[in-house]
Amino acid sequence: MTRISYCDVFGIDLERNDEERIAAGDIVRAGSNLFPHFEVIAVHGGKAWLRDVQTAADHLVSLARCRKIASTALAIAA
């Protein structure tokens, strides 16, 4: 059984167009959504292991769906 996301079902494109280096320890978001925020635990190949900063739930996602959140944006949101 494979898990299908809403993005796959509804054909939502969350891929980013620019090359952005994402590494462990970065805070990211998925696609164009502003929330939730995720901490990058590890990156391997084209996949990222993310942890939701609010709920601590872990996720494995395509690295292309991750967008880095600038530290200034976090200060404004808080």
pLDDT of 3 over the 80 cut: no
pLDDT of residue 56: 92
Q: CATH: 2.30.30, 3.40.50, 3.30.70, 3.30.1820. Which one for 20-77?
A: 2.30.30
Domain ranges, ordered by start, for the chain = 20-77
pLDDT of residue 73: 47
Query: Quick one: tokens of 69?
Result: 């959140």
Is the peptide bond preceding residue 36 cis, with omega within 30 degrees of 0? Answer: yes
Query: Residue 46 half-sphere exposure, CB side, CA atoms within 13 Å?
Result: 5
CA 4 vs. chain centroid, Å, equals 17
Name which of 29, 63, 30, 34 is nearest 49 in CA terms: 63
C-beta separation of 8 from 24 below 8 A: no
The model's pLDDT over 29-72, given as tens digits with 9 standing for 90+, comes to 887 777 889 999 999 988 999 999 999 999 998 888 888 887 54
pLDDT of residue 49: 93
